[in-house]
Structure 1
Amino acid sequence: MSTEIKWQKSSFSEGGAQCVEIAEHNDAILMRESDDPNAVTTTSRTKFAAFIAGVKAGEFDHFTN
């Protein structure tokens, strides 16, 4: 039985193009760029949660300027 991977884009993506997409699969978090869907990065839920906490705290804001 195969499980279909359901990718999710941010509602902040510019028209849905060239954004990061996230999915969950087998207790892991998958990430890819919409313009290169075959290049997938995998991480744990714990590491992803730490990253999201850092984003919410503004730790990565300097990358957007």
Structure 2
Amino acid sequence: MTCPNGQVSAGWYGPYPTFELAGAPLIVARFTKSQYQPCPDKPWCTKASARNVGFPPRELCGL
């Protein structure tokens, strides 16, 4: 995954179970601290300590 500032995720992990009603597992793209720490858009990205983006598995997306 590539963020709007051109940083490419360090890797893809999962699927991880979720605790939402739908119960779909998530595949997670993770960015390293060195990728997001100097980012000028960090305040608008997320307030979480780690920068991860979760997606349902492709077969659940209809792709």
- TM above 0.5, one fold? no
Question: Hey, which of these two has a bigger chunk of strand by percent?
Answer: 1
TM-score after normalising by structure 1 = 0.28
Question: Hey, which of these two has a bigger chunk of helix by percent?
Answer: 1
Q: Flag the structure with more relative contact order, 1 or 2, with Cα contacts below 8 A and sequence separation at least 6.
A: 2
